Amino acid sequence: MSELPTWSFAYGQPECCARIRSVVDDFQVDEVLGFSADGEGEHLLLQVQKRGANTAWVARELARIAGIKPRDVSYAGRKDRNAVTVQHFTLWLGKQPEPDWSAHVHPEYHVLSSVRHRRKLRLGALRGNRFRLVLRELSMPVADLEPRLRLIREQGVPNYFGSQRFGHAGGNIARALQFFADPRRVRDRDMRSLLLSTARSLIFNAVLSERIVQGTWNRAIPGEVCMLEGSHSVFRSDPEDTGLAERIASGDIHPTGPLWGMGDALVGGDAAAIEARVAQEHAAFAQGLETAGLVAARRALRLPVTDLKWQSEGEHTLILEFFLPAGAYATAVLRELVTTENPAGGANGDAEDD
Question: What are the residue numbers of the active site?
Answer: 80
Whether residue 262 contacts residue 295, with contact meaning beta carbons closer than 8 Å, is answered with yes
Task: Compute the distance between CA of residue 91 and CA of residue 97 in angstroms, rounded to an integer.
Answer: 12
Cα 101 to Cα 246: distance, rounded to the nearest angstrom: 52
- Terminus-to-terminus CA distance in the chain, angstroms? 21
Q: Are strands 297-300 and 302-303 parallel, antiparallel or unpaired?
A: unpaired
Q: Residue 350: what residue type?
A: D
- CB burial class (10 A; 0-12, 13-18, 19+) of residue 132? middle
Q: Is residue 271 packed enough to be buried (19+ CB in 10 Å), middle (13-18) or exposed (0-12)? A: buried
For helices 171-181 and 189-213, angle between their N-to-C axes, nearest 10 degrees: 120
Q: Which letter does DSSP use for residue 222 in this model?
A: T
Taking each helix axis as running N to C, give the angle between helix 283-291 and helix 269-281, from 0 to 180 degrees, rounded to the nearest 10: 100
Do 26 and 20 meet the contact criterion of CB atoms below 8 Å apart? yes
Helix/strand/coil for 68:
coil
CB atoms within 10 A of CB 276: 14
H-type alpha helices, 182-235: 189-213
85, 131 contact by CB (below 8 A): no
Between the CA atoms of 326, 152, 258 and 229, what dihedral angle is there, to the nearest 10 degrees? 60
